[in-house]
Structure 1
Amino acid sequence: MGVRQFVLRVRTLIVLSALTALFAGFAAATPARADSQAAYLADRLRETPVYVSDQLPREVPKSMTPDFERVAKDTGVPTYVLVLPGLAGDGEALLSAVHDRLGRDGVYVLLDESTASHAAAFGVSAPVDDALTVCLYELPYDAGPLREFELFAEVIAGGAGKAADRAEAAREKYGDDEPEEMYIGPSDRENQSFLTGMLLTGVPLLILLLAPYVRRLRGRKGRPRHRWLVPAVALATALTVPLIATAAFDQTTSSASPRPRAMDLNARLDRVAQGLAEDPVYADPESPRVLDAAQLARLHGRIEKFRKSEGGGPVYVSVVPQLPADESEGDEEAFASALHDKLGEDGVYVVADPLYGSIEVFNHGLRLDSLDLLIDLPESITYGDDRAEKADDHLLGERLDALMTVLDKAPRTDRPESSGDPYPVTDPVTEDDLPPLFGTEFTPGLFMGTLAAGAAFGLVVAVVAITRRVLRRLRPGPLPTASLPEVSPTEPPMTYLRSTARVELRALTGDFEASTGVTATDRRPADSLDAALLLLDGDAGRIEDSGTSAATLVAVIVLTRAGRAALAGTGYNRCCAVNPLHGPAVTRHHVRVSAQGRQRRLLHVCGLCRDTAIAAPADLHTRILSLSTGGGARVPYEEADELLTAVPEGVRRLIERVRESASVP
């Protein structure tokens, strides 16, 4: 070998070694598993066998981790637990991928905010399928994930034989029925308070009224021998009723979830804010990845270009799920506002949900039209089209790129604007607390108990008198009965819809004309009134037209009520998606909307529908608003007219749909 060839080979080896070292260093700095949801979760399980997400503080606070660790030790086999949002990934595939990354055999369990959804055994013998079956049949829907995991561990520890027998027994016992719910709702507590109040006054008073009457019926005259006996019995009853009610109605919470701590409610916000401080795009590592490297690079480039443009500024994109169980109660505007407070930087805050695929945009402090970004953003960006609905990644990369185009072209304002304060969310610490038993409806119950005692006494007197007369004449006959037609808000007739729409529109028009100052700063009343009049072609008299459909009348009622609420300072954007006539929604909840199967939808619901979804989920479908189609048949309101499909998406979306149908910009 010549010297020249030797030198050439040495140089080649040096270059190859340098490249190898460079790639090794790059791999160490950004390992491939960092791009994987399964790899991230495997790393967490490598630190501790139980990982509880910080995205469910209202249902499963992260501070519950020690409780799950304690239960995991009771299975008798190595057990790895993930507590994640319900749509965080394909359960079985995710568990398999996490196991492959972690490289440790054992039982892998995936729980969400309500149930033990999936489990798999790798390299160990454990009856995981039978354990899941027992949990499904033996526990009600509101038992909570910790109680389900406790039952799961109990079945696993019992062995395969006992697990199979118990699963079969559970199937035979419950079939299609669900066990009785473990918790009650606020409306149930109100009923308990009302009943306690009624019994407290009604029973003692009825004793005081009936005792002398019975004595007279028996023909006894004069003063009774023991005059103190009846008052003493009545007093003893009055003292006993509260004691029995307190023991019988001892529930204090409507949910299995414990009260979240401050660190639980701030954990995710701190995590996302820290990530955005380092990178303007934060992709939740617990969720399926929806942005690839090329999309991220392009998005970073466009964000930097917008930041340097005239009238532009920082853009912060958080690709994070928005869930009813999170600290913001699934409210994107509240989440963005909290991030703005945490980060302390003005800019455009984009909230992209990797699970549901929605995109919301909120301006905080830039010279942009905040209302235009909030309301007039194209639906193809905010919700996506049919292609986005079918795609696993919801085409978020493509839609975020389109959003940046909209931001580049967005009109600038003379001074910085902000989206305003978001609607307040419910207090996560006290939202599950039941009202006190001797509060709320207890006082009305006391009053009604007095009336009920008098009515019961009058009924007894009447029954006795009628019975005596019937027996005397020996000609018993049927008692007259009467009934009145009942108007159900679930199946309202057209007369009810017309009168309600007429009254609500007249009231909104009067309130709007009499308002001073509110409409100058808040466009919601004007937008609601304009949309309602668009539906009627500008003529309120069309409400009485027989050609005006029930769907149109319902839309008018929803719009006018939202406008009046905005004028009154109690505005809302979401109404009850089960029945829009119920009024504003108070939360989002997984509800069963059909009598067949157990399929649930995540909907905004009012307080009564939420309580029904908790206390009697199988009955909630009976509360869905149905409208007449003109031929006598009734269908759910969303099927009556395409216009009403926008109602579950919010009043703002309904206004957009009305404008689109009327070709009004």
Structure 2
Amino acid sequence: MTATAEAHATRRRTYGAARLLLTLTALAALFATATPAAHAAEPVAQAAYLAARLRADPVYVTDQLPREIPHSTAPAFARLAKRTGVPTYVLVLPGPSGTGKGLLGAVHDRLGRDGLYVLIDASGVSDATAYGVHAPAADAATVALYELPYDAGPLRSFERFVDVVAQGSEKAAQRAASARERYGDEDPAALYLGPSDRDNQSFLTGVLLTAVPALILLLVPYVRRWRRRLPGAKPGRPGAKPGKPGSAKLDSGRKPESGKPESGKPGPGIRHRLGRGLVPAAALAGAAAIALTASLVFDQTRSSAAPPPTAADLTARVHRVTEGLKRDSVYVDPESARVLSAAQLSRLHDRIRAFARSDGGGPVYVLLVPQLTEDESAGQYDVFTATVHRKLGKDGLYVVADPLGGYIEVLNYGLRLDSVGLDLGLPESIGSGDDQAHEADDHALGDRLDALMTYLDKVPRSDEPNTAADYPATPEPVDSHVLRPLFSGDFRPGLLMGALTALFALALTAGVLGIVGKVLRRRNPAPLPTSTLPFTAPTDPSPSYLRRTAHTELSALAEDFRGSAGSGDSGDSGESGDSGESGESGESTHEQPPSGPSGLLPQVRAWDCFDAAMLLVDGDIDALDSPGPGPETLVAVVVLSRAGRAALRGEVNDLCCGVNPLHGPAVSRHHVRVSAEGRRRRLLPVCESCRNTAIVEPATVHTLLMTLPAPAGADGRVPYIETDGPLTAVPNGIPRLIDKVRETAGVQ
């Protein structure tokens, strides 16, 4: 019996040792997997918190995005959710905190209710799943993603999502396929402008507001003057389109008017003043039109779809964090995925208590809260921390650990620590993390916070409590989405650039028109100024020179005569078919001018000269381009045309130079020698140049006498006064020349 009992005792001890070994092995395996298990269980805490919120209200809007999705917009999301036709649960969370894989499924499991679960972040609908109900969640999310631009906003994105869900599965699938096909490679146009876009609009408005009126004020008068300088331009009608010099048949039979306006019609002076006032009026109207159009087209007032937050929206998260710090020195954001295991959190509390008891240490407050540009502090951790410190009312070391970005910042309020060392000496491996931390989902915040506490133990102490800097307590203005007024910002630089643009355009236009004018003047040379004629007119002109000059002068007279007639009446050009031609019988069909003192009335003189010149060419200016008219006829046309143009300018000259009729008007009569042989003199009208020669060098005057090619069958040249035709009347004055032409043509 003793041996048997001893054997049983031995087996029990063996079995006990085996069970103990198995137990220790199981415990070792349990402890070996404790950290992963804790991490795997952490999303459960986030899902449980969100499920509890949805149990109280099917729409939960975070308080961490007041600048983009204010908490006060929850009723708007709730109204949209009711339009889906199925139970809908909406979670509006900040960025990546709600994008963890399976978050909606975990929330559904904790809530235990079937329905359509929708996850929304600052950009719009990011995930949607239907549990136990029929709803085209995936297709609706696809439509909201493709059909809307990136700046549509979460509320508009959810509205589009709801509309597609309400259409049913079949239509939703078709719409999703169409959206992918249409917007697969490009995004829809943005709905809102950024600050830089508004600057561009202001700059463009400023440029146009000065450039367009300045161009009207500068270019219109410049182009008018340029056109008046063109060959054949009409001087009496600024801006009128000049006719082609030498058009086939011109009416020389129109009566010159006395300049008195017809009854009921404004006179030329009134029309001229009205014309001058049109340019400033057009510039003013253009500026007003640009300003009005810009205000209507660039009417955007906001740069984002985000509604303005209320005061409660901007203080909700600070109040929540402050209340949490009153209960625990480590505040973990319940909306974010957990980044600290239970063991890491417990160790952090132990390290904080030890630091508080150390020499120069003190309270440490750890804020595991995301820092986003859409939050109440606009992503400025120092502003957020200063606000929490002021709200909490306790000094200490405030540590901000961002569970989304992974950054750690330390701010000292009233502890005897070297604040400069905290600001500048914090190791990068702790503040921003190394490559391994960047790749980890939890950013290795647990290990880095532990390393931070070790670093704090080594930070030099100071004699007096201090703060590194006066941290700001005021966030950026909440109206940051409000665009500047259109007429501000870059509007003033645009005004300056518009003026420079107008000057550049004027210079460019002047260059182009200068080239065009040279080409036109080369093709249609303008008459030479009267003052230059004595120095430029040849003594022995060739037939080609006479034809070219006669065509130019008579064309200019025709255009000037039209302009004068147009400015004195209703503006009729005076053309009337064949009324300017003379018949074969030699009888003129021209109407006679009104009665008046012959040779004194400028318009009558101009009419007589024009009429006589047209008789010489049979009413056809183009005939001057042919070899038909003789040299003496061409000279007579030149003399009459120049006298007529001078009369239209108010200069009635009865005499032209008798030495050389191409010299222009005469200033007096003088006895001059007309031949090198003998000393015979003749009393002739002379221009100023010929008179001076006759006084200073009388023996050389005969060399200035104009000669013409001899008649057909003869050689050499002959003095013009010895030719047959109307030129023999030149020494007797312009009126006698006119009469001679009419006598030759048989006109009464």
TM-score class normalised by the smaller sequence: 0.5 to 0.7
Aligned to 1:239: 288
Matches within 5 A, 1:275-294: 275-294=324-343
Matches within 5 A, 1:560-571: none
The residue identity in structure 2 corresponding to 1:329 is A
Aligned to 2:148: 139
The partner residue of 1:116 within 106, 120, 125 is 125
Aligned to 1:50: 59
Aligned-pair CA distance for 1:391: 2.8
Matches of 1:347 and 1:181 in 2, distance apart? 46
Matched, 1:421 2:470: yes
The partner residue of 2:115 within 91, 99, 106 is 106
SS in 1 for 2:373: coil
Matches of 1:463 and 1:325 in 2, distance apart? 56
Matches of 2:495 and 2:84 in 1, distance apart? 52
Contact 1:280 1:315 in 2 (8 A): yes
The partner residue of 2:213 within 204, 213, 222 is 204
The partner residue of 2:428 within 376, 379, 383 is 379
Aligned to 1:95: 104
Runs of 5+ unmatched residues, structure 2: 1-40, 239-270, 524-748
Matches of 1:34 and 1:118 in 2, distance apart? 17
Contact 2:437 2:443 in 1 (8 A): yes
Matched, 1:359 2:408: yes
Contact 2:387 2:473 in 1 (8 A): no
Matches of 1:446 and 1:357 in 2, distance apart? 47
Aligned-pair CA distance for 1:116: 1.3
The partner residue of 2:460 within 404, 408, 411 is 411
Matches of 2:114 and 2:310 in 1, distance apart? 34
Contact 1:53 1:62 in 2 (8 A): yes
Matches of 1:382 and 1:250 in 2, distance apart? 45
Matches of 2:121 and 2:498 in 1, distance apart? 45
Matches within 5 A, 1:202-601: 202-216=211-225, 217=227, 219-222=233-236, 225=271, 226-227=274-275, 228-422=277-471, 427-469=476-518
Matches of 1:421 and 1:392 in 2, distance apart? 34
Residues matched between the structures, number: 443
Contact 1:75 1:153 in 2 (8 A): yes
Runs of 5+ unmatched residues, structure 1: 1-31, 475-665
Closer/same/farther in 2, CA of residues 75 and 35 from structure 1, 3 Å limit: closer
Aligned to 2:157: 148
The partner residue of 2:89 within 76, 80, 89 is 80
Matches of 1:33 and 1:292 in 2, distance apart? 7
Matches of 1:355 and 1:292 in 2, distance apart? 16
Aligned-pair CA distance for 1:403: 1.6
Closer/same/farther in 2, CA of residues 451 and 358 from structure 1, 3 Å limit: closer
Larger Rg: 2
Matches of 2:477 and 2:117 in 1, distance apart? 30
Aligned-pair CA distance for 1:423: 6.3
Aligned-pair CA distance for 1:54: 1.0
Q: Which moved more, 1:170-179 or 1:391-400?
A: 391-400
Identity of aligned residues (%): 62
Matches of 1:354 and 1:400 in 2, distance apart? 12
The residue identity in structure 2 corresponding to 1:335 is F
The residue identity in structure 1 corresponding to 2:515 is I
Closer/same/farther in 2, CA of residues 185 and 90 from structure 1, 3 Å limit: closer
The residue identity in structure 2 corresponding to 1:154 is D
SS in 1 for 2:91: strand
SS in 2 for 1:254: coil
Matches of 1:92 and 1:35 in 2, distance apart? 12
Deviations 1:228-285 (A, max 9, x none): 3333322222222111111000011111112222221211111111100111011000
The residue identity in structure 1 corresponding to 2:178 is A
Matches of 1:307 and 1:38 in 2, distance apart? 34
Matches of 2:511 and 2:115 in 1, distance apart? 73
Contact 2:43 2:338 in 1 (8 A): no
Matches of 1:310 and 1:138 in 2, distance apart? 62
Q: Which has the higher contact order (CA 8 A, sep 6+)?
A: 2
Q: Which moved more, 1:191-200 or 1:137-146?
A: 191-200
Matched, 1:159 2:208: no
The residue identity in structure 2 corresponding to 1:403 is L
Matches of 1:190 and 1:426 in 2, distance apart? 24
CA RMSD of aligned residues (A): 2.2
Matches of 2:440 and 2:214 in 1, distance apart? 67
Matches of 1:292 and 1:382 in 2, distance apart? 20
Closer/same/farther in 2, CA of residues 387 and 442 from structure 1, 3 Å limit: closer
The residue identity in structure 2 corresponding to 1:86 is G
SS in 1 for 2:96: coil
Matches of 2:475 and 2:219 in 1, distance apart? 48
Closer/same/farther in 2, CA of residues 409 and 210 from structure 1, 3 Å limit: closer
